[in-house]
Amino acid sequence: MDQHWSALLEFDQKHVWHPYAKLPNPVQAIGVKKTQGSIITLADDRELVDGMSSWWAAMHGYNHPKIQQAMHEQIDTMPHIMFGGFTHEPAIELAKRLVKLTPAGLEKVFFVDSGSVAMEVAIKMAMQYWISLNRPAKNRLLTVKNGYHGDTFATMAVCDPVNGMHSLFANQLTNHFFAPAPQMGFDIESDNQDIEALKTILLEHQANIAAITLEPIVQGAGGMRFYRPDYLKQVRDLCDECDVLLIVDEIATGFGRTGKLFACEWAEISPDIMALGKTLTGGHITLAATLTTKKISSTISHGQPGILAHGPTFMANPLACRAAIANIDVLLASPWQENITRIEDHFQQTLLPLKSLSGVADARVLGAIGVVELERDDLGPAIQAAAVENGIWLRPFGKLVYTMPAYNIPQHQLVALTTGLIIAIKNSLKP
């Protein structure tokens, strides 16, 4: 590595605070020089196959030419304009696509600039809806354990109370209701004890519950857990029966990751509020959105103060909206469902056999998501280092080693990815 990069990395280690890291960082971050497709080129010119698609966002890989072209065209005319009092074609065209593609009834679009904020807005919508109906006592949320919805304060309060960050900020967070996590297994025949437990809490506290919020089908950063569509369908029915809204967090699952365009489609349900992010621009620039129904938007607009009290500075940024339009068009024009099936088949063949290894608690696959759950929770750093040595990029957390690659990852790179993952896990489990 040349002196230029050595100096940069030394400064970074001392002064730049990375996510979920100490400062100064005892582990130096890995310098990246460029990206292309599913390949990350490091500062020392090594190449890694990306198994993370930049925290699940770069679903077409990096530097997609059509998305880049759209961004270049937009930056030449109007990279940004405030959305208060103004509007513009990229925001309108993107909203048209989202209304058309998302489940029926989600007709109103509020743009924000990150997934956590999309969930903050979703929670605010739900609370303000009941305030507008003169029912302010409905100001609590019901969620499920092992969930994750973001790192901001309102979202932390509905993350798992054990493996989330409640312990750090317990005195500052709103106290919501937590039901047991859905039973694991996408295809299981369930006894519905998990639904009965949720129903018991809901019936006891429905006068105070504004909404149920959950991640549909896949619980992501809270455990990489897959659950049956019928659970989600029953939650939708319970919300209707008990006069409670349903918020779904499709930030990780939206736009095809599970094999359906949106994970809600597995249960054939429509939520009252939906949060989108991550893949919205294909990982090219930050953007997120919260969608809701005419009933909710109308109720808020006719209540007091008659507005939704939220307005991010970079809301509906034109450059990001153009990227999102191009990203959605690229997705719909691609054989994305065939690619998801191809990745799923490969993960099933290569990762599921790891269940037989001593030290592996489980291996599971759904769509373009492959997960290996270890019995120990302290092997992540060693596995990540071994992965890099084997030419792949992973970022394990806790007991979980997982991969969510770009949908269009070439087959030979997919093979390299799983080969490197398996070697890294096996080496870490050696006595």
Give the whole-angstrom CA distance, residue 154 versus residue 150: 9
CA distances from 171 to 15, 34, 83, 153, 156 (A): 30, 43, 35, 11, 12
The active-site residue out of 2, 20, 22, 187 is 20
The active-site residue out of 50, 113, 194, 249 is 249
CA distances from 269 to 227, 248, 272, 279, 298 (A): 15, 11, 10, 21, 22
Residue type, 41: T
| CA 160 distance to own-chain centroid | 15
Residue type, 306: G
The two tokens of residue 49 are 């196959």
Buried b (16+ CB within 10 A) or exposed e, 114-153: bbbbbbbbbbbbbbbbbbbeeeeebebbbbbbbbbbbbee
Please tell me whether residue 51 adopts helix, strand or coil conformation. Answer: coil
Burial class (CB in 10 A: 0-12, 13-18, 19+), 228: buried
Q: What angle do CA 255, 258, 264 make, to 5 degrees?
A: 70
Verify cis geometry, omega within 30 degrees of 0, for the bond prior to 305.
yes
The active-site residue out of 148, 227, 402, 407 is 148
20 is catalytic: yes
Q: What are phi and psi of 320, to 5 degrees?
A: -70, -40
Burial class (CB in 10 A: 0-12, 13-18, 19+), 171: exposed
The active-site residue out of 62, 278, 399, 402 is 278
402 is catalytic: no
**Among residues 241, 288, 279, which one has the least CA distance to residue 120?**
288
Give the whole-angstrom CA distance, residue 143 versus residue 247: 10
Q: Tell me how far apart the terminal alpha carbons of the chain are, to the nearest angstrom.
A: 34
278 is catalytic: yes
Q: Which residues are catalytic?
A: 20, 148, 249, 278
